[in-house]
Structure 1
Amino acid sequence: MDDLTGFQRDLLYVIAGADQPSGQDVKDEIEQYYSSEINHGRLYPNLDTVVNKDLVEKGQLDRRTNYYAITDEGEQAIEDRREWKSQYVD
């Protein structure tokens, strides 16, 4: 996870905390956290990055809607990050 941007890490956390959210669901959650609008040109390329790194799985709910789900590798990356952070912050 050390090669992800902060935004990509935040996407990973949102996806891990939800049950197969759609891209719109992820967008809504991340906009609440950032308190600003996130455009598609920022969201979807970053979602593609975490998918391409095998941290997230992308599937299709219907012809227009994809879902995202955390993979085992993504769960492990979150746990590794949590352990690393715990050395510095309680």
Structure 2
Amino acid sequence: MDDLTGFQRDLLYVIAGADQPSGQDVKDEIEQYYSSEINHGRLYPNLDTVVNKELVEKGQLDRRTNYYTITDEGEQAIEDRYEWESQYID
């Protein structure tokens, strides 16, 4: 996870905490956290990055809508990050 941007890490956390969210679901959730609008040109390339790194899987709900799920590798990356952060934050 050390090669992800903070935004990509946040996407990973959002996907891990949801049940097969669509791209729009992820966008809505991340916009709440960031308190600003996230455009498609920022969201989808970053989603593609976490998919290409095999941290997230992308599936198809219908012809227009994809969903995202965390992979075992993604779960492990989150756990590893948590353990690393824990040594600095009590």
Please say whether Structure 1 and Structure 2 have the same fold, judged by a TM-score greater than 0.5: yes
Unaligned runs of 5+ in 2: none
Which string of whole-angstrom CA distances, capped at 9 and with x for unpartnered residues, describes residues 31-84 of structure 1? 000000000000000000000000000000000000000000000000000000
Write out the 4+ residue segments of structure 1 that deviate beyond 3 Å after TM superposition: none
Paired with 1:72 and 1:57, the residues of 2 have a C-alpha distance of: 10
Aligned residues: 90
In the superposition, the TM-score normalised over structure 1's length comes to 1.00
Give me the identity figure in percent.
94
Unaligned runs of 5+ in 1: none
Shift of 1:88: 0.1
In the superposition, the TM-score normalised over structure 2's length comes to 1.00
Paired with 1:61 and 1:29, the residues of 2 have a C-alpha distance of: 19
RMSD (CA atoms): 0.3
Paired with 1:57 and 1:18, the residues of 2 have a C-alpha distance of: 13
